[in-house]
Structure 1
Amino acid sequence: MLIGYARVSSSGQSVEIQRDALLAAGCEKLFDEKESGTSTENRKALADALEFVRAGDTFLVTRIDRLARSVADLEAIVSKIKAKGAYLKAVEQPIDTSTPAGTAFLQMLAVFAQFETAIRKERQMEGIARAKADGRYKGRKATVDVAIVRQMRTDGVRPVDIAAKLGIARASVYRALGEAE
C-alpha cells in the first residue's frame, strides 16, 4: 500500500500541490498537516502515518524536506518505517530506501536539508542583530513588572513567594532583581 504524507509549515500555505502529486503517484491513504518541519514534536499527522504504515508498504512524500529538516529526525523517521518492514520513497527526488542507491541519496539530501535550516537560522540571527542595531527590534514585551518585583522584595517577600504570587518563574524574579544592580 502507498501511504502519503504532505506537510507545509504555516497556515498561509497549502498542501494541495503535495496532495495532488501523492494521489497521482497512486497513494491509497493520505496524511497531511500544517506544522513546522524543524522538529517531529506536535506533528500528529506524521505520528498517525507512521503508526498506520505496515510491512511491505511504501511511505511516500513529495520531497524529504516535507518529512524532516534534521538528519537526526530523518534517521529516526526512516528507522521507524524500516522497523515496520516498509520503505520510504520521494516523488520528486530519486529516493527509494528499497535500493542502496536510493538510501545513499536520502542520506546526502538529509545533510543538505539540515545545512539549509542552519543557514536560514543564521540569516535570521543576522537580521535580528541588524534590527537591534538600527533600534527597530526590542525583543518581546516584558511579562514581568520589575517595579512590583522589587517592591515586594523590599517589603521582605521571599523570591519563591514573589514568583508564586505573580505566577512567574523564580528565575524571572531573580532576573528582575538583578536589573537593579
Structure 2
Amino acid sequence: MKIGYARVSTEDQKLDLQIDALKKAGCVEIYSDHAVSGGSFNRPGLTKALDSLQGGDTLVVWRLDRLGRSLIHLVQLINELGTRDVHFQSLSELIDTASSGGRLVFHMMAALAEFVRSLISERTRAGMAAARRIGRHMGRKPILSDEELRSAAYAVSHQGAHLSDVAKRHGLAPRSLRRMIQARVHGK
C-alpha cells in the first residue's frame, strides 16, 4: 500500500499540488502537516504516517525536502524504514527504494551525507588546531582569573579555609572549584 506525506511550512502555502501528485501516484492514505517547518521535531502528520506503515508499504513524498530536516536526517529516516521493510518513493527526484536503481541513488546520497559530516569534522579539528598554534584559547573563558584561582587555592591549602566557603565567595559550586584547583596543580 502507498502512503503519502505532504508538508508546507507556512499558513499561506497550500498542500493541493502535493496532494494531487500523491493521489496520481496511487497513495491510498495521505497524511500532512500544515504550517510546520521541516526543522521541527514535532510533526504530527509525519508521525501518523510513519506509525501507519507496515512491511511492504511505500512512503511517498512529492519532494525529498518535504520529509527530512537535513540530508543526514533523511538518510536516517529512510534507513529506519528499510529495517521495517518499508519502501520510499520521492516523486520529483524519481527515487524509489523498491527498485535497484532507486536504492543505488539513495545509497549514493547516504555516502555523500557521511562525506559531508566527515569534512565538517575535519575542518573543525583543523581550525581548532590552528587557533591553538597561535595561542588562542578554545572554549569558554575561565570563570576565575589566574590570580583569583591562585588566591583560592592558597586559602584552601595553606590558610585552612573551607572549600565551600571559598567557592561561595567566588559564586562557584565546591566541586567546580576543586576541579579548577586540581587542574591548576596538574598543569591542565
TM range (shorter): 0.5 to 0.7
Aligned to 2:37: 36
Residue 61 (str. 1) matches residue 66 (str. 2) = no
Shift in alpha-carbon separation, 1:109–1:10, aligned structure 2, 3 A: farther
Residue 84 (str. 1) matches residue 84 (str. 2) = yes
Shift in alpha-carbon separation, 1:14–1:2, aligned structure 2, 3 A: same
Contact 1:94 1:105 in 2 (8 A): no
- Whichever residue aligns with residue 38 of structure 1, its letter is G
Give 1:88 shift.
Answer: 0.1
Report the RMSD for the aligned CA atoms in angstroms.
2.3
Shift in alpha-carbon separation, 1:9–1:55, aligned structure 2, 3 A: same
Distance 2:47 2:102 in 1: 23
Highest Rg: 1 or 2? Answer: 2
TM (normalized to structure 2)? Answer: 0.54
Q: After TM superposition, where is structure 1 displaced by more than 4 Å over at least 4 residues in a row?
A: 107-112
Q: Percent identical across equivalent pairs? A: 37
1:9-46 per-position Cα deviation (integer Å, ceiling 9, x unaligned): 1111111110011011111011011211124x011111
Give the 3-state SS of the residue equivalent to 1:98 in structure 2: coil
Give the 3-state SS of the residue equivalent to 1:92 in structure 2: coil
Map residues 134-173 of structure 1 onto 2, 5 A cutoff: none
Distance 1:45 1:54 in 2: 16
Aligned to 1:17: 17
Aligned to 1:125: none
Distance 1:69 1:96 in 2: 20
Alignment: residue pair count: 113
Contact 1:56 1:87 in 2 (8 A): yes
Structure 1 runs not aligned, ≥5 long: 116-181
Contact 1:50 1:80 in 2 (8 A): no
Distance 2:82 2:101 in 1: 16
Contact 1:7 1:15 in 2 (8 A): yes
Give 1:54 shift.
Answer: 0.4
Shift in alpha-carbon separation, 1:20–1:80, aligned structure 2, 3 A: same
